Amino acid sequence: MKRSLIIAGVATLLLSGCGADPEGGSGSATIDYWLWDAAQQPQYQQCADAFHKANPQYTVKITQYGWDDYWNTLTTAFVSGTAPDVFTSHLSRYPDLASQGQLLPITDLVTRDKVDLSAYQDGLADLWVTRDGQRYGLPKDFDTVAVIYNTDKLKEAGIKPEEMSELTWNPQDGGTYEKVIARLTVDRNGKRGDEPGFDKNHVATYGLGLNTSGAGFGQTEWSMYTMSNGWQYADRNPWPSRFNYADPKFKETIKWLTSLIDKGYVPSMDIISSGVGQIDTYGAGKYAMVTEGSWNTKTYWALKGVKSALAPTPIGPTGKRASLFNGLADNISAGTDNPDAAWAWVKFLASPACQQDIVAKQAVIFPAIKSATVEAEKAFADTGIDVKPFTMHVKDGTTHLAPISDHWADITTIMTETMDSIFSFKSDINALDPANDKINALFQ
Amino acid sequence: MTSDTVRATPRLTAGAVPDKSPPRRRRLGDLPIAIVFVLPAAVGFAVFYVWPALRGVYLSLTKYNVLTPPRFIGLENYRQLFGDHLFWNALKVTAEYVVLNIGTQTVISVLLAVLLHRLTRSMVVRGIVLLPYLVANVVVALVWFWMLDFQIGVVNQVIEWLGFDRVAFFGADLGIGTIAMINTWRHMGYTALLIFAGLLMIPPSVYEAAAIDGASEWRTFWRVTLPLLRPIMALVMVLSVIGSFQVFDTVAVTTGGGPINATRVIYFYIYDLAFNRFNFGYAAALSSVLFVLLAGIAYLQLRLSRAGESDLKGS
**Quick one: closest CA in A to B176, which residue?**
A274
CATH number at residue A77: 3.40.190.10
What is the rounded distance in angstroms from the CA atom of residue B30 to the CA atom of residue B23? 11
Question: Per-residue pLDDT for chain B (315 aa), expressed as one digit of tens each?
Answer: 334 433 434 444 444 444 455 555 556 678 888 899 999 999 999 999 999 999 999 999 999 988 888 999 989 999 999 999 999 999 999 999 999 999 999 999 999 998 888 787 788 888 888 899 999 999 999 999 999 999 999 999 999 999 999 999 999 999 999 999 999 999 999 999 999 999 998 898 998 899 898 888 888 888 888 888 888 888 898 889 989 998 999 999 999 887 888 999 999 999 989 888 888 999 999 999 999 999 999 888 888 877 667 666 544
Alpha helix ranges (H) inside A63-156:
67-80, 94-99, 107-112, 151-156
B175: left (phi over 0), alpha (psi -120 to 50) or beta: alpha
B273: domain range?
Answer: 2-23+85-304
Q: Are residues A163 and A134 in the same domain?
A: no
Q: At what angle do helices A388-396 and A372-382 cross, to 10 degrees?
A: 160
Q: Is residue B162 in some structural domain?
A: yes
> What is the distance in angstroms between the Cα of A228 and the nearest Cα belonging to chain B?
28
- Do residues A35 and A90 make contact, with C-beta atoms less than 8 angstroms apart? no
Q: Is residue A311 in some structural domain?
A: yes
Nearest to A39, CA basis, from A285, A284, A294, A210: A294
Q: Is residue B33 in some structural domain?
A: no
> How many domains in chain A?
2
Q: Is residue B54 in some structural domain?
A: no
A133: domain range?
Answer: 30-143+326-370
Q: Are residues A56 and A163 in the same domain?
A: no
What is the rounded distance in angstroms from the CA atom of residue A365 to the CA atom of residue A351? 15
At residue A360, what are phi and psi to the nearest 5 degrees? Answer: -55, -35
Which of A4, A276, A426 is nearest residue B33 as measured by Cβ atoms? A4
Q: Is residue A61 in some structural domain?
A: yes
Does the beta-carbon distance from A15 to B43 stay under 8 Å? yes
Q: Is residue B100 in some structural domain?
A: yes
Does the beta-carbon distance from A417 to B260 stay under 8 Å? yes
> What is the distance in angstroms between the Cα of B5 and the nearest Cα belonging to chain A?
26
Query: Own/partner pairs for A390-394, CB < 8 Å, 24+ apart?
Result: A390/A143, A390/A144, A390/A145, A390/A146, A390/A294, A390/A297, A390/A310, A390/A366, A391/A144, A391/A366, A392/A312, A392/A321, A393/A144, A393/A145, A393/A312, A393/A321, A393/A322, A393/A323, A393/A325, A394/A121, A394/A142, A394/A144, A394/A325
pLDDT of residue A274: 92
Q: How many residues belong to chain B?
A: 315
Q: Is residue B275 in some structural domain?
A: yes
> What is the distance in angstroms between the Cα of A346 and the nearest Cα belonging to chain B?
23
Chain B residues with beta carbon closer than 8 angstroms to that of A71: 275-276
pLDDT tens-place string over residues B257-276: 878 889 999 999 999 898 88
Q: Are residues A173 and A205 in the same domain?
A: yes
Q: Is residue B70 in some structural domain?
A: no
Does the beta-carbon distance from B44 to A15 stay under 8 Å? yes
Q: Are residues A96 and A128 in the same domain?
A: yes
Chain A residues with beta carbon closer than 8 angstroms to that of B39: 8
Which of A8, A100, A409 is nearest residue B276 as measured by Cβ atoms? A409
Q: Is residue A2 in some structural domain?
A: no
Q: Are residues A273 and A416 in the same domain?
A: yes
Indicate if the pLDDT at residue A28 is higher than 70. no
Chain A residues with beta carbon closer than 8 angstroms to that of B280: none
Residue B315, C-beta contacts closer than 8 angstroms, at least 6 positions apart: none
Does the beta-carbon distance from B260 to A409 stay under 8 Å? no
Q: Is residue B220 in some structural domain?
A: yes
Q: How many residues belong to chain A?
A: 444
Q: Are residues A212 and A231 in the same domain?
A: yes
Q: Are residues A290 and A243 in the same domain?
A: yes
What is the rounded distance in angstroms from the CA atom of residue B161 to the CA atom of residue B310? 52
Q: Are residues A126 and A252 in the same domain?
A: no
Q: Are residues A211 and A303 in the same domain?
A: yes
**Quick one: closest CA in B to A279, which residue?**
B152
Q: Is residue A345 in some structural domain?
A: yes
Q: Is residue A391 in some structural domain?
A: no
Q: Are residues A299 and A165 in the same domain?
A: yes
CB pairs under 8 A between A and B: 109
> How many domains in chain B?
1
Q: Are residues A135 and A85 in the same domain?
A: yes
The predicted complex's ipTM stands at 0.82
What is the rounded distance in angstroms from the CA atom of residue B310 to the CA atom of residue A310? 71
Q: Is residue B113 in some structural domain?
A: yes
Q: Are residues A66 and A199 in the same domain?
A: no
What is the rounded distance in angstroms from the CA atom of residue A404 to the CA atom of residue A57? 37
Q: Is residue A5 in some structural domain?
A: no
Indicate if the pLDDT at residue A9 is higher than 60. no
CATH number at residue B177: 1.10.3720.10
Residue A431, C-beta contacts closer than 8 angstroms, at least 6 positions apart: A418, A421, A422
Indicate if the pLDDT at residue A4 is higher than 60. no
